[in-house]
Structure 1
Amino acid sequence: MWRNSVSGWGLTSILLHWLSAVAIIGLFVLGWWMTGLDYYHGWYNLGPWWHRSLGMVLLFATLGRLAWRLVQPSPVPPGSRLERLAAHLGHVALYALMLLVLVSGYLISTAEGDGIDVFGAFEVPALLTGLPNQASLAGTVHWYAALALMILAAGHALAAVKHHRWDRHDTLVRMLTPRHARRAGGSETPLTHARR
């Protein structure tokens, strides 16, 4: 139930996927909103604290997801060879953008040499500081990478809906149900076969 199979995602991958999705959207909305706060607003300091803390948790979770994918099988995606290649490249781009957003956010917060307090539980030390215009350059990368990530994530979601609604593949259902539609031989079972 917790591990992946060639026919579906395990519960570990499913939970990491959806929790990461919620965190990414929440961080984007919070980041956009808090940049417009004035000094006397109650969330002027609290907003960035939450943003940094959640960002660090997501960074560790993303590294954990990547490690998990290295030691677990990935279900074979449905569709043509070209569609499978596009799906693979899309996932690579999503992970690359997530890491770019998170690492650039880390570089913004640690530019002055201060570590990042994560919900008061522990501190992530500043490992790279004092680079020329570090906070400014990292801030620019952070913003545009976050925008690109949101656009690509929207495309990812639309592709999942397209596969589910029009192609009648079980791509979306497999990301909601651990090891969905596993046949006796361990091969993938599309929804069209499952309904027969």
Structure 2
Amino acid sequence: MQAKNSEDAYGWVAILLHWLVAVTIIGLFALGFWMVDLSYYDPWYRQGPDIHRSVGILLFMAMVLRLVWRLLSPPPRPLPNHQRWEVVSAHLAHVALYLLIFVAMISGYLISTADGSAIHVFGWFQVPSVTGQVKGLEDTAGAIHYWSTWAIVVLAGVHALGALKHHLIDRDSTLRRMLGLA
């Protein structure tokens, strides 16, 4: 399998980045959903958010790489059996997912740095606050983060259902292309 996308197939780089981002987002959502109910005395009270923030920063870097790769290696053309509305809705869903993912990551960063502190990424490096201390920023960014992550999960679910529809009902290679099997 080639690294770059062709007119008919995704390359291994796009496939790897797609599934890496998908699994990471599911994991971050699950961790975030679980950790909001931790009590102060729970051993994961500090460790859960530290992991969440660190993985979020790494996800940001992967998403920037994914955007750059998409510019360097455009996705394959739609399959001939796809209806115009399917092509347009898939494009809009991808744009919305990219935007929502960046909104979620930036709002998560703002939650964590609203007090002026840096984010320590697994002890490897730090990402400093660009805002300093801003009163009320944590609450505003928190609301945006909450709703954008739920929107991502819902839209990603619709995206997955669309892929399954193409695979099980239309019996085309839409899903197989993203699995590297087409």
TM-score by length of 2: 0.95
User: What is aligned with 1:171?
Assistant: 174
User: What is aligned with 1:134?
Assistant: 137
Among candidates 107, 115, 118, match of residue 104 of structure 1: 107
User: What is aligned with 1:67?
Assistant: 68
Tell me, yes or no, if the aligned pair for 2:114 and 2:135 is still in contact at 8 Å: no
More helix by share: 2
For 2:96 and 2:68, the matched residues in 1 are separated by 17
Equivalences for residues 51-90 of structure 1 within 5 A: 51-78=52-79, 79-90=82-93
Deviations 1:2-46 (A, max 9, x none): 111111111111011101111101100100111101111110000
User: What is aligned with 2:46?
Assistant: 45
Tell me, yes or no, if the aligned pair for 2:6 and 2:75 is still in contact at 8 Å: yes
Tell me, yes or no, if the aligned pair for 2:35 and 2:48 is still in contact at 8 Å: yes
Aligned amino acid, residue 56 of structure 2: G
Moved over 2 A (4+): 128-132
For 1:15 and 1:129, the matched residues in 2 are separated by 36
Task: Tell which has more relative contact order, 1 or 2 (C-alpha 8 A, sep 6+).
Answer: 1
RMSD over aligned Cα atoms:
1.0
Aligned amino acid, residue 18 of structure 1: W
Number of paired residues?
179
Percent of pairs with identical residues: 49
Aligned amino acid, residue 59 of structure 2: L
The structure that has the greater radius of gyration is: 1
Aligned to 2:5, what secondary structure does the other structure show?
coil
TM-score by length of 1: 0.89
Unaligned runs of 5+ in 1: 181-196
